[in-house]
């Protein structure tokens, strides 16, 4: 195992924008080792004053919609305009090795080779909806390293959209024309969360159908109640292959930023997200505290078969576990 750096080495390397140190720092915050967790918490606290100066964009869509291709084209457009882009791509986890399966660096070769960009594929593990449990911390480290645009790509399954929506400024939903979704009205819950819909692969023979799909989605969005941020979601066309619609998509995101900063929603949203971050950490740490208690482990082992057979209530066992824990700390 590679030797861990000191707190000051991690901090200085990250603040200097050293990509190797940044990658190692993210590995540190993702680690489950108790000593690493303690060091990671100190590191995040140390770099906190240098964070918050980016725009955080969540990007989701069903598998096959072309998220990685879009992100490479969009990210390349942004770095060429002078932005520094960090991509946190949450990959499905291997159930054997627990590592990332898709390996986004191999799917974004051009962007990965650009020194103005940083790409980090992270295994989703067992966290809710396929979002890495430490995505928030990784995002802050990227901001401290000088990246002013953070793109968070989800696996596009389960509850990942809800989880990512709770940690970004702008939520972008990629769609495809001809998939039937625009007629059936499915994905309503996701569409309600989206600040914009981009119909990808709007090129060639698919362009006419994409324009028709845009009209359907615009009509559907008008039926939704107004958002708290006062922004009306946009629906635009984009082609990652032909590189069309990318600059227009960025202009739209900047319009959203100006709009929400002027009406106060931007600041309120980030404040609410920090409190949610606290709740998530408390829940995770309390769960770890409970499961690491030897008496609780003995209780669970004793009643596991009874729970599996349906003879013992999981609720009762959980309450007994809490009793054990509170007695130990009372």
Indicate the CATH number for domain 1-50. Answer: 1.20.5.170
Checking if the pLDDT of 100 tops 50, the result is no
Per-residue pLDDT reduced to its tens digit, 178-188: 765 544 444 66
- Rounded to whole angstroms, how far apart are CA atoms 181 and 177? 8
Per-residue pLDDT reduced to its tens digit, 266-295: 999 999 999 999 998 898 888 888 989 999
Q: What does the pLDDT average to over 312-329?
A: 91
Indicate the CATH number for domain 51-263. Answer: 3.40.50.300
Q: What does the pLDDT average to over 205-223?
A: 89
CATH 3.40.50.300 range(s) for the chain read 51-263
Which residue stretches of the chain are H helix?
7-15, 19-30, 34-47, 67-80, 104-107, 109-112, 135-144, 160-165, 181-184, 188-193, 207-221, 246-262, 265-292, 294-309, 314-329
Contacts (Cβ under 8 Å, ≥6 apart) of 193? 161, 162, 165, 171, 173
Strand, helix or coil at 97? coil
Phi/psi of residue 143, nearest 5 degrees: -65, -45
Per-residue pLDDT reduced to its tens digit, 60-98: 887 788 898 999 999 999 999 999 999 998 765 433 444
Checking if the pLDDT of 118 tops 50, the result is yes
CATH 1.20.5.170 range(s) for the chain read 1-50
Q: What is the pTM of this model?
A: 0.88
Give the rounded percent of residues in the chain with a pLDDT score beyond 90: 60
The rounded mean pLDDT for the chain is 86
The predicted structure's pLDDT at residue 130: 38
Q: Which of residues 160 and 282 earns the better pLDDT score?
A: 282
């Amino acid at each position: 195992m590679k030797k861990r750096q000191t707190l000051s080495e991690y901090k200085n390397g990250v603040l200097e924008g050293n990509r190797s140190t940044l990658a190692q720092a993210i590995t540190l915050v993702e680690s489950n080792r108790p000593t690493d967790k303690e060091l990671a918490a100190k590191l995040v606290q140390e770099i906190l004053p240098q964070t918050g100066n980016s725009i955080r964009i969540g990007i989701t869509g069903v598998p096959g919609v072309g998220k990685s291709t879009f992100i490479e084209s969009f990210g390349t457009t942004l770095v060429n305009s002078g932005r520094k882009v960090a991509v946190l791509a949450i990959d499905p986890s291997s159930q054997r090795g627990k590592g990332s399966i898709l390996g986004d660096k191999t799917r974004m070769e051009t962007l990965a080779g650009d020194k103005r960009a940083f790409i980090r594929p992270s295994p989703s593990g067992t966290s809710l909806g396929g979002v890495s449990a430490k995505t928030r911390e990784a995002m802050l480290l990227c901001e401290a390293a000088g990246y002013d645009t953070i793109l968070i790509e989800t696996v596009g399954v389960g509850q990942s959209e809800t989880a990512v929506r709770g940690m970004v400024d702008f939520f972008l939903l990629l769609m495809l024309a001809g998939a039937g979704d625009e007629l059936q009205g499915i994905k309503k819950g996701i569409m309600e969360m989206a600040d914009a819909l981009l119909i990808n692969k709007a090129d060639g023979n698919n362009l006419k159908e994409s324009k028709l799909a845009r009209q359907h989605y615009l009509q559907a969005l008008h039926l939704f109640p107004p958002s708290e941020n006062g922004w009306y979601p946009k629906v635009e066309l984009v082609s990652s292959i032909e590189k069309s619609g990318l600059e227009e998509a960025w202009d739209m995101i900047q319009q959203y930023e100006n709009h929400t900063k002027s009406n106060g929603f931007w600041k309120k949203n980030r404040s609410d997200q920090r409190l949610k971050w606290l709740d998530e950490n408390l829940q995770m740490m309390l769960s770890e505290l409970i499961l690491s208690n030897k008496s609780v482990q003995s209780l669970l082992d004793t009643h596991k078969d009874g729970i599996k057979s349906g003879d013992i209530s999981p609720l009762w066992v959980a309450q007994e576990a809490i009793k054990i824990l509170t007695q130990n700390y009372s």
